Amino acid sequence: MLKVRNIEAGYGKLRVLKKISMHISPGEIVSIIGANGAGKTTLLQTIAGIIQPRGGEIAFADTAIGGMKAHKIVEAGCSLVPEGRQVFGPMTVQENLILGAYSLKKKGLADQQTQELEHVYELFPRLLERKDQLAGTLSGGEQQMLAIGRALMARPKLIMLDEPSMGLAPLIVKDIFSIIVKLREEGNTILLVEQNARAALNISDRGYVIETGQIMLEESADELLNNNDVQRAYLGKDYKSIGDMKGEE
């Protein structure tokens, strides 16, 4: 569904992404894990069209989208749930959601908007309860749900989530991740960027490890969870000494 080849991207003189190649097939959940500053957000933003790539190709459902405007990419079926939620605080929950369906309206599919709204409220009953509440007054977890719901309103083929667990309590993180699994069960394809590598890999099919703008490793989620380097770097295995064989979890 999404094929990325040799993407170069950055900010000003700073080169962030250096020849990134990856792909995601329909129905997969793929995670990109890496440390702060590795380039994960830059990658999603480049795919979403918020940043223009400086080199390489991006193909989404056989259409070349590298260099396309962001709203066109949403119309093509690729939605981003941005880092930090970024809900529109002064607007209500419902207003936020309806805004998410903007591209549907443009395509003349306004009635689908009502259907999708129902679907989102089914997935997130909490949002239905608070539908007339101002988005800025929601809790972190609720805002994350709203951001995901807003992305769903455009009826995307590919949902990209940038650090959905950030700043959320562990129990809420659990909820959010079960929702992501549910979304896949409903037939969605999901690209997940996460610092919480364990939570991400636990629900993913495959993963890419990105370090300083380069893909270092690409394996199935199970293999990554079993890879000692990944365990040491991202899964919190702490070796106390050179002879320490087991490490602390």
Partner 1 sequence: MYNEKIETMPREELEQLQVEKLQSTLNRVYRNVEFYKKNFDAHSVNIENISSLNDLKELPFTTKEDLRGAYPYGMFAVPLRDIVRIHSSTGRTGKPIATGYTRNDLKNWSEMVARLMAAAGLSDNDFIQIAFDYSMFTGAFGIHYGAEKLGASVIPSSSSKKIQEQILIMKDYKTTVLVSSPGYASAIASNLKEMDIHPDELNLKFGIFGAAPWNEKIRSTIEEQLHINAYNTYGINTLVGPGAAGECEEKCGLHVNEDHFIVEVIDPESGESLPHGEEGELVFTTITREGFPLIRYRTGDLSSIIEGKCSCGRTFLRIQHVGARTDDMIVVKGISFFPIQIEDILKKAQDTKPRFRIVVDNVDGNDTLDVQVEVSDSLFADEVKKLVELKAFISNTILSELGISAKVTLVEPETLRTEGKNAKVFIDNR
Choice between 19 and 54, CB closer to partner 1:
19
CB of 72 to partner 1, least distance (A): 23
Contacts of 121 (CB under 8 A, 6+ apart): 127, 128, 131
Per-residue binding string, partner 1, 10-29, x by CB under 8 A, is --------xx-xxx-x----
Distance in angstroms (rounded) separating the CA atoms of residues 148 and 82:
9
For partner 1, the closer CB: 3 or 157: 3
Decide if residue 54 touches partner 1 (CB under 8 A).
no
Q: How far apart are CA 210 and CA 191, in angstroms?
A: 14
**Closer by beta carbon to partner 1, 157 or else 247:** 247
221, 205 Cβ separation under 8 angstroms = yes
Is 51 an interacting residue with respect to partner 1 (CB under 8 A)?
no
- Report the sign of the C-alpha dihedral through residues 130, 131, 136, 142, in that order: positive
Question: Looking only at Cα atoms, what is the longest distance across the chain?
Answer: 65
CB of 246 to partner 1, least distance (A): 11
Give the residue among 108, 98, 104, 40 at the shortest CA–CA distance from 71. 104
Q: How far is the CB of 112 from partner 1 (least distance, A)?
A: 31
CA distance 249 to 238: 7
By CB under 8 A, is residue 123 in contact with partner 1? no
Q: Which of 67, 137, 226, 236 lies at the binding interface for partner 1 (CB under 8 A)?
A: 226
Q: What are the tokens at 229?
A: 């380097």
Q: How far is the CB of 5 from partner 1 (least distance, A)?
A: 7
77, 78, 84, 90: CA torsion to nearest 10 = -30
Q: Read off the amino acid at residue 78.
A: C
Count the site residues for partner 1 by CB under 8 A: 22
Residues 163 to 222: which contact partner 1 by CB under 8 A? 208, 214-219
- Looking at the Cβ atoms of 175 and 218, the one nearer to partner 1 is 218
Cβ proximity to partner 1: between 18 and 119 the closer is 18
- In the complex, least distance from residue 165 CB atom to partner 1, rounded to whole angstroms: 25
Burial letters 115-130, b for 16+ CB under 10 A, else e: ebbebbbebbebbeeb
Nearest residue (CB) to partner 1, 118 versus 229: 229
Q: Provide, rounded to whole angstroms, the least separation between the CB of residue 46 and partner 1.
A: 16
Q: Which residues bind partner 1 (CB under 8 A)?
A: 3, 5-6, 18-19, 21-23, 25, 208, 214-219, 223, 226-229, 245
